[in-house]
Each structure stands twice: as structure tokens, then as C-alpha cells.
């Protein structure tokens, strides 16, 4: 039997600074938005300040999950706390979908009874929101390509930037045309766009929570590769799952007509799985063919 892994595949530590800066910027914006909402007696701004405060919580959650992936395994948690990053990405996606549902419902209600808005003040606050959320989203854009946890943070901030753009546009059109209905209409459009873009994150993170095979892993190709190795005549108990949003594990029993005298085959297979199939941690066991498939109930 052999084990192979290439460490914790740590997300670069520079994201610690990104989370710290993003949390500080967004909390500062919450204070600004709450102040102006109180000053002009705008329930919309006060409600959005509450929404942005939940976004700060989402960033803190994602940062905590990032820190959890660095905790060393122990006798109680033999894989460490790496799965925390998957859980955080799922929670962020779920919260974002709920928030957009609430935004859509509020917009629908306002369509029934449009209200006047303080156009200039709303535009000013929205402009600050665009700047803050765009900067924060930019901090995570590179990591979002390969890490669902960072993708959750990126989508959260991108969604807020898009909402702020909509608020700015609504304020401008209200000042120009006096359209009370423009604010809820733009809000509905934005909510639909964000739900569509967030659904993939929600689906993928839920899939990984239930030990689904990560999308980037082609299991039939792995099975074909293993069966192509000299001496391997069958495979059973082949399992692939995500240990975190950046690490994939594999276990398999390889059946051979006769067992080799060295571990070279295992080392070669483990290296190939890591280099070409993105398997960061694998456990392989060789078994001699006894002409019996008893207990081979895996894949």
C-alpha cells in the first residue's frame, strides 16, 4: 500500500491581507451607508447597510475557512479542517441566493407602490459602494478561478458592486426622468443575473459536501489509465472526493495477477495521478488476484 500527497496545497498567504483589507473596506462602507440612511430617513439605504453587514460576515467566514485549512490533522480530525472551505463556499452561495430572493421580493413590493428616492444622496452612496466592492472583488479574482471558497467571496463582492451600479443608475434616471418605478425594475434584473451566476457555485459546493467527484476530475479516464498499467487486471473500491476546495483525494484497490517486488509501480502511478489528474492525495493498495471478487462492491 502507498500514500501520496503534496502537502496542503495552501492558498497563498497574500489572501490573508486581501481578506483583512476587504473586511475593513466593507465595514467602513456599512457605517457610511447606515449614517446616510439615518440622515435622509431612507429605509432602503438602512436595509442595504444591513445586507452589506452580512457580506462582512461572509468574508469573515471565508477567511476563517482559509485559516482552518492550515490546521494540522490530529487523532480527532485525521484530515484536519480542510472541508471548512467547502462549507464556507456553500454557506456564502446559499446566503447570496437568499439575499437576492429578498431583494427580488422587496423590488416586487415596491413595484406595487413606487416611492420617491433621494436621488443625489443615493447616487453618492452607490458610487462609494461601487468603488469599495469592486476593489474587494478584485482582491479575490485570481484565486476565484481555482478555489470555490475564494470564488464565493469574489461573487459576493461582484454581486454587491453590480447592485450598487443598479442603484446609481436608478438614482440618475430618477433625477432625470422622475421615474419612481425604475429602482425596483433594475433591482429585479440585477437579482435575476446574480442568481444565475451564483447557482453554479451553490451546485458545485453542495455536490462536494456530499463527496461528489469534483468537476475537473475525469473518473472514467482515471479508471482507464489504471487498467492500462502493466500487471493490473482489475480495480475496485475506487473513490474520489474533495478534501477541500483545492485538494482532491483518491483511494483504490488494484488487483494484479502477481504482486511486484518493489513499490516503483505505485510511485509512478501516484505521480501520474498528481501531475495529470489533479489528485493531490492518493492511497493505493495492491491485491493479488485470487479468482474471487468477494467484497469488491466499489466502483
β pairing state of 281-288 and 2-5: antiparallel
The pLDDT assigned to 55 comes to: 80
Rounded-to-integer distance, Cα 139 and Cα 169, Å: 25
Residue whose cell numbers read 473518473: 219
Nearest Cα residue to 81 out of 90, 91, 72: 72
Task: Report helix, strand or coil for 93.
Answer: helix
The pLDDT assigned to 6 comes to: 46
User: Rounded to whole angstroms, what are the CA distances from 64 to 8, 12, 59, 61, 85?
Assistant: 16, 15, 9, 5, 8
Whether 7 has a pLDDT exceeding 70, the answer reads no
pLDDT tens digit string along 161-204? Answer: 888 888 888 888 888 888 878 778 877 887 888 888 889 889 99
Phi-psi region of 291 (alpha: psi -120 to 50; beta: other; left: phi over 0): left
Superfamily of domain 10-209: Cation efflux protein transmembrane domain (1.20.1510.10)
Rounded-to-integer distance, Cα 224 and Cα 217, Å: 13
Residues 74-112 as b/e (b if ≥16 CB within 10 A, e otherwise) read eeeeeebbbbbbbbbbbbbbbbbbebbeebbebbeebee
The pLDDT assigned to 3 comes to: 53
Whether 77 has a pLDDT exceeding 70, the answer reads yes
Nearest Cα residue to 110 out of 191, 29, 199: 191
Nearest Cα residue to 137 out of 39, 48, 19: 19
Select the highest-mean-pLDDT range: 12-16, 66-70, 211-215, 244-248. 211-215
pLDDT tens digit string along 242-280? Answer: 998 888 999 999 999 888 888 888 899 999 999 999 898
In the chain, CATH 1.20.1510.10 sits at 10-209
Q: For the whole prediction, is pTM greater than 0.85? A: no
DSSP category for residue 215:
T
The pLDDT assigned to 19 comes to: 92
Task: Please name the fold of domain 219-288.
Answer: Alpha-Beta Plaits (3.30.70)
* Whole-number average pLDDT of the chain: 83
The total number of residues shown for the chain amounts to 299
In the chain, CATH 3.30.70.1350 sits at 219-288
Nearest Cα residue to 163 out of 93, 90, 103, 117: 103
Residues 235, 255: contact at Cβ < 8 Å?
yes
Rounded-to-integer distance, Cα 100 and Cα 290, Å: 58
Amino acid at each position: 500500500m502507498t500514500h501520496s500527497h503534496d502537502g496542503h496545497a495552501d492558498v497563498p498567504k497574500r489572501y490573508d491581507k486581501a481578506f483583512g483589507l476587504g473586511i475593513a473596506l466593507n465595514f467602513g462602507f456599512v457605517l457610511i451607508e447606515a449614517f446616510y440612511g439615518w440622515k435622509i430617513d431612507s429605509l432602503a439605504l438602512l436595509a442595504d447597510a444591513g445586507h452589506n453587514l452580512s457580506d462582512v460576515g461572509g468574508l469573515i467566514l471565508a477567511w476563517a475557512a482559509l485559516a482552518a485549512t492550515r490546521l494540522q490533522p490530529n487523532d480527532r480530525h485525521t484530515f484536519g479542517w480542510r472541508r471548512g472551505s467547502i462549507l464556507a463556499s456553500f454557506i456564502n452561495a446559499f446566503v447570496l441566493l437568499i439575499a437576492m430572493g429578498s431583494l427580488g421580493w422587496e423590488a416586487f413590493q415596491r413595484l406595487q407602490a413606487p416611492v420617491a428616492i433621494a436621488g443625489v444622496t443615493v447616487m453618492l452612496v452607490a458610487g462609494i459602494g461601487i468603488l469599495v466592492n469592486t476593489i474587494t472583488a478584485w482582491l479575490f479574482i485570481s484565486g476565484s478561478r481555482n478555489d470555490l471558497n475564494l470564488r464565493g467571496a469574489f461573487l459576493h463582492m461582484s454581486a454587491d458592486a453590480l447592485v450598487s451600479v443598479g442603484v446609481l443608475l436608478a438614482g440618475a434616471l430618477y433625477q432625470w426622468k422622475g421615474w419612481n418605478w425604475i429602482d425596483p425594475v433594475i433591482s429585479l434584473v440585477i437579482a435575476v443575473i446574480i442568481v444565475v451566476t451564483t447557482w453554479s457555485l451553490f451546485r458545485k459546493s453542495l455536490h462536494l459536501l456530499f463527496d461528489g467527484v469534483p468537476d475537473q476530475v475525469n473518473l472514467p479516464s482515471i479508471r482507464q489509465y489504471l487498467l492500462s498499467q502493466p500487471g493490473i487486471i482489475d480495480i475496485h473500491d475506487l473513490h474520489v472526493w474533495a478534501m477541500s476546495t483545492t485538494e482532491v483525494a483518491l483511494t483504490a484497490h488494484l488487483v494484479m495477477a502477481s504482486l511486484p517486488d518493489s513499490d516503483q509501480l505505485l510511485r509512478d502511478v501516484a505521480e501520474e495521478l498528481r501531475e495529470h489528474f489533479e489528485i493531490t492525495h492518493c492511497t493505493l493498495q495492491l491485491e493479488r488476484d485470487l479468482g474471487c471478487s468477494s467484497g469488491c462492491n466499489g466502483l
